Amino acid sequence: MANSASGESIIGRFVKIVNAFDDTHPAMSVAELGRRTGLPVTTTYRLVNDLLLERLLEREPGGDIHIGTRMWELASRSSKMLGLREAALPFMEDVQAVVQHSTTLGILDSDEVLYIERLGSDKTIVDITKIAGRLPVHATSSGLVLLAHSPSAYQDAFLARPLTKFTETTLTEPAALRRHLAEIRQRGFAAMPGVIVPESSGIAVPVFGPDNTVRAALSVVVPRNEENTPARVPVLMAAARGISRALGWRGELKGTLRQSH
Amino acid sequence: MANSASGESIIGRFVKIVNAFDDTHPAMSVAELGRRTGLPVTTTYRLVNDLLLERLLEREPGGDIHIGTRMWELASRSSKMLGLREAALPFMEDVQAVVQHSTTLGILDSDEVLYIERLGSDKTIVDITKIAGRLPVHATSSGLVLLAHSPSAYQDAFLARPLTKFTETTLTEPAALRRHLAEIRQRGFAAMPGVIVPESSGIAVPVFGPDNTVRAALSVVVPRNEENTPARVPVLMAAARGISRALGWRGELKGTLRQSH
DNA sequence: TGTCGATTCCCGCTCAATGGTAATCCTCCT
DNA sequence: AGGAGGATTACCATTGAGCGGGAATCGACA
């Protein structure tokens, strides 16, 4: 499926190129793009030109390249993300108004947490979540909530892999994690003090869809010393129920374990 | 630049495919995708498979295809859109809280208005703006504001083209439009009663960047009978100044015409 | 059982994509 | 002015990925 010496398809190279851009590298010259992607010079220029024609990339006055408006438009036009985001936004605003630090909405994607919306404030101290950013499942409150309500086959596969220990409090033992997941299901929320960076804590609750499976995790990130979990959980839970209902969820089935399959 | 009989590049076909999805067609079978794009059957299947591998498209249980999470992620990761959106959102919420109908943020892209954010409510009646949706420049309040503050060379080129008359109130005469644009610059806002659909009116104001050029248009859409323009304009203007300042704008230069170039 | 559509498999053709090399352009420094 | 270093464009021989027609298979529905 590839004309290239390296055996990649054009689509693969396209992803490589777009992937070379991130928040720290929002724009760069074509030459640097070639270096970052490892593609041959000529090939890079040819491909970039194709992409410029379709406006998936754009050239700024200086000559540097950045991701084009068209790319965002095409991706956003018909995305399940938009529906979820739109349903969640008003509730997230309410949470943010009360909690004042940072409110995020994340989904499970490719064994990682992908954050699709984030409300922050100037007070926000250490919060590494970014919109369209990814973080590991086992080291975030959102991730653990999502994992806790995933099909058990998925959990098994996930726990079979080796997990990175980011800080002292990061759980990496399958058995300990399993116990913790059960606790999360039972309590209805996850509270993780400094599992990825020691300075901040996350509290997360699940958001459900019409079929009673988990769709997303709603969470707040607060400084380590002022967690005040008992006070924050009810706010989060109420908001999550609101979002779930906006998605078509009709209340949890009485006495049903939420873990599906 | 193309291996195909029709002379399209793969990138071009990729755009065709993604473009086949919209809010009314969020998912479809590969065969239907082939029909909608006009691509040969086999080619469609091969290309779709490539895209599925990169998760730019995703297959749902039924077999239908929809746009993948990866697509949104790549597009959103480093986009000027995000910065603008993030700066604007809090102010838009304030406007929305007061106006209660529908608040939008639009930019000028490819001679059309592209809406990058929209806050609505249940009360929202007729409002055809959608996030990532496009509308013609000359038939929207946002578009006219953006056009009014564009370089005059751009305005000339735009006004040289024939313009569609959507309703009775749509201005299509270059001379009349020019007068109107001058008025918009002078007043600082555009108020368009029913230029695209007769039932609703738009009021829009410009948002400026650090270099004092217009970046976006902030607007509200209200029912035709309860426009109350004089009451709404100050709210919009204050919010737009807030957004502009968040973008790095430092106040307008005294006595300067805002029309650049 | 038969029909219709979606999907996959097969396969020979061919030209677009490839990527090395070299020329040109551009910017900054001396 | 000169020239060093990088970015960009131009050139071009090679080749296999993409192409797309056609047929087989799967699957739903009547």
Q: Is the pLDDT of residue B93 over 80?
A: yes
A46-103 per-position pLDDT tens digit: 899 889 989 999 998 888 999 999 999 999 987 888 889 999 999 999 999 998 889 9
Q: What average pLDDT does range B217-240 have in this prediction?
A: 91
Is strand D within 7 Å of residue B63 (CB)?
no
Angle among Cα A210, A213, A214 to the nearest 5 degrees reads 110
Contacting B residues, span 42-101, partner chain A, CB-CB under 8 Å:
47, 50-51, 53-56, 66-67, 69-82, 86, 89, 93
Nucleotide nearest to A4 (CA to C1'): C18
Q: Residues 6 or more apart from B33 whose CB is under 8 A from it?
A: B17, B20, B44, B48, B65
Cβ A74 vs Cβ A82: under 8 Å: no
A41 CA vs D10 C1’ separation (Å): 13
Contact B165, B120 (CB under 8 A): no
- Minimum CA–C1' distance nucleotide for B40: D20
| pLDDT more than 90, % of chain A | 61
C-beta of residue B189 within 8 angstroms of C-beta of residue B219: no
Q: Report how far apart the first and last C-alpha atoms of chain B are (Å, whole number).
A: 37
Asked if residue A113 lies in contact with residue A230, where contact means CB atoms within 8 angstroms, the answer is no
Closest CA to A138 of A66, A195, A54, A200: A195
Task: Give the span between the Cα atoms of B8 and B16, in whole angstroms.
Answer: 10
B202 to each of A3, A118, B103, B144, B165, how far by Cα in Å?
51, 29, 10, 11, 17
What percent of chain B stands above pLDDT 90?
Answer: 60
Average pLDDT over residues A105-121: 94
Specify the residue for token string 């480093």.
B78
Positions of strand C less than 7 angstroms from a protein CB? 5-10, 15-22
- Per-residue confidence band for B253, with pLDDT thresholds at 50, 70 and 90: low
Please name each of the domains of chain A with its CATH number: 10-75 (1.10.10.10), 79-246 (3.30.450.40)
Question: For the residues B222-241, what does the mean pLDDT come to?
Answer: 90
| B135 close to B143: Cβ distance less than 8 angstroms | yes
Contact call for residues B28 and B64 (beta carbons, < 8 A): yes
At residue A123, what are phi and psi to the nearest 5 degrees? -70, -20
Q: How far apart are CA B45 and CA A123, in angstroms?
A: 50
Question: CB neighbours of A31 closer than 8 A, spacing ≥ 6?
Answer: A41, A44
Separation between Cα atoms, residue B128 and residue B123, nearest integer Å: 14
Distance CA A33, CA B54 (A): 20
Q: Give the strands of the sheet with A200-208, arranged side by side.
A: A134-136, A112-120, A102-109, A214-223, A200-208, A190-193
How confident is the model over B161-203, as pLDDT tens digits? Answer: 999 998 888 999 999 999 999 999 999 999 988 778 888 889 9
Mean of pLDDT over chain B: 88
Query: In which element (H, E) is residue B232 found?
Result: helix B229-246
Best probe of the B interface among A1, A15, A135, by most B CBs < 10 A, is: A15
Q: What is the pLDDT of residue A253?
A: 60
- Model pLDDT for residues A165-219, shown as the tens digit of each residue: 988 889 999 999 999 999 999 999 999 887 788 888 999 999 999 989 999 999 9
> Distance in angstroms, CA of B38 to C1' of D28?
25
Whether the CB-CB separation of B158 and B111 falls below 8 Å is answered with yes
Does the beta carbon of B2 lie under 8 angstroms from any beta carbon of chain A? no
Q: Which of residues 54-73 of B touch strand C (CB under 7 A)?
A: 63
Q: Give the pLDDT score at A259.
A: 47
pLDDT band at A255 (very low <50, low <70, confident <90, very high): very low
- Among A12, A22, A80, whose Cβ lies nearest the Cβ of B77? A22
| A-B Cβ pairs (cutoff 8 Å, strict) | 134
